[in-house]
Amino acid sequence: MTDTVSTATSTAAPTGAGNHRGLRVPRDPRVPVRAGSWALVLAVLVVLHLVAFRATDFRPEALATGAEGMWNFLAEAIPPDFSGEVVGVGVQGALTTLWIGLLGTTVSVPTALLLAVLGARTTSPNAFVYQLARGILSFFRAVPDIVFALIFVTAVGLGPFAGVLALICHNTGVMGKLWSEAMEDIDPGPEQALRTAGASRLQVVANATLPSVLPQLTGLLLYRFDVNVRSSLVLGLVGAGGIGLLINKSIKTFQFDEMLTYLIIILVVIVAVDLASAWIRKRLQ
């Protein structure tokens, strides 16, 4: 009896194994569709790049024909002018650029935080307020900071104050958008618990939303400070003060050795800001 069962089992096993080996995995019908979609996307990208190359007169060979002019420019800029007067003026301009970036970041915090709370789906009181806050953030974000600088230069005159105002406006839109998205991504558990306990909307935001998202908000704030220091350099080129104004002046007067000195000084400042921001972010993790 036992021998019969063993023989039957041993006979059936290869048959079952063979049946399993004979099964075929069905092909995914979506694979051809995905391949066709990727091919279409690639074709569209190629066409867009061809149009962009033609529209921007993208000609790499122009660099070769203009190489002599570039070498002449570098020959006049090297060595940089490290005289005491030029370095002193450059350091003062770099510090002004740093202060523009600092104030443009910190002064925009209250407005950006208010619009972020009103522009987040989880904290906005109703749909109308949400859309209004989002619209304001989109406007401030859509207008470049250099355009704001040109507007404020005509209003308050040349100088760093126009640059600070320009950065406040643009940074409010960018930082408010980033903060609102960070608020929407947090765990809703603490907020729901406070609402169940009868807390008001302001209490929920102050005691649940902001504490939960504070590390993200701080990290984004430091990131924006890095960006704003660089932006303040560009704003100086349109009269908003700082070392950018000195660079623009040295280029217009063909003092390229002074220009290179100013570039080296602002490079040192930006590297120092990067290192300080990275150190603070590491401590916040």
Residue 59 lies in a domain: yes
The answer, yes or no, to whether residue 132 has pLDDT greater than 50, is: yes
Does residue 225 or residue 77 have the better pLDDT? Answer: 225
Cβ(172)–Cβ(107) under 8 Å? no
pLDDT for residue 1: 45
The answer, yes or no, to whether residue 187 has pLDDT greater than 60, is: yes
Q: Are residues 179 and 119 in the same domain?
A: yes
Last residue of a domain, one of 43, 74, 105: 74
Number of domains in the chain: 2
Lowest pLDDT segment from 72-76, 211-215, 226-230, 252-256: 72-76
pLDDT for residue 159: 84
Q: Are residues 96 and 68 in the same domain?
A: no
Q: Are residues 58 and 105 in the same domain?
A: no
Q: What is the CA radius of gyration of the chain?
A: 30
Residue 107 lies in a domain: yes
User: What pTM, to 2 d.p., does this model score?
Assistant: 0.74
Region 67-84: mean pLDDT is 77
Q: Are residues 53 and 99 in the same domain?
A: no
Q: Are residues 63 and 181 in the same domain?
A: no
Lowest pLDDT segment from 61-75, 136-150, 160-174: 61-75
Q: Are residues 154 and 219 in the same domain?
A: yes
pLDDT for residue 24: 63
Q: Are residues 61 and 147 in the same domain?
A: no
Given pLDDT bands bounded at 50, 70 and 90, which one contains residue 2?
very low
Q: What letter does residue 120 receive in the DSSP assignment?
A: S
Residue 239 lies in a domain: yes
Share of the chain above pLDDT 90, in %: 21
Last residue of a domain, one of 45, 74, 103: 74
The answer, yes or no, to whether residue 229 has pLDDT greater than 70, is: yes
Does residue 28 or residue 132 have the better pLDDT? Answer: 132
Cβ(106)–Cβ(278) under 8 Å? no
Cβ(237)–Cβ(145) under 8 Å? no
Using a 10 angstrom Cβ sphere, with 0-12 exposed, 13-18 middle and 19 or more buried, the burial of residue 207 is middle
Residue 79 lies in a domain: no
Region 161-168: mean pLDDT is 92
The values of phi and psi at residue 254, to 5°, are: 60, 30
Residue 6 lies in a domain: no
Does residue 25 or residue 134 have the better pLDDT? Answer: 134
Residue 61 lies in a domain: yes
Tens-place pLDDT, residues 57-69: 887 777 777 677 7
Q: Are residues 185 and 241 in the same domain?
A: yes
* Burial per residue of 8-36, b for 16 or more beta-carbon CB atoms within 10 angstroms, e otherwise: eeeeeeeeeeeeeeeeeeeeeeeeeeeee
Supply the range of the domain harboring residue 35. Answer: 29-74
CATH of the domain at 95: 1.10.3720.10
Q: Are residues 152 and 238 in the same domain?
A: yes
The CA distance from 22 to 28, in Å, is 19
For residue 88, the tally of other CB atoms under 10 A from its CB is 10
Residue 17 lies in a domain: no
pLDDT for residue 103: 93
Mean pLDDT of the chain: 81
Residue type, 285: Q
pLDDT for residue 171: 93
Residue 56 lies in a domain: yes
Q: Are residues 148 and 223 in the same domain?
A: yes
Q: Are residues 143 and 252 in the same domain?
A: yes
The CA distance from 115 to 125, in Å, is 12
Q: Are residues 56 and 168 in the same domain?
A: no
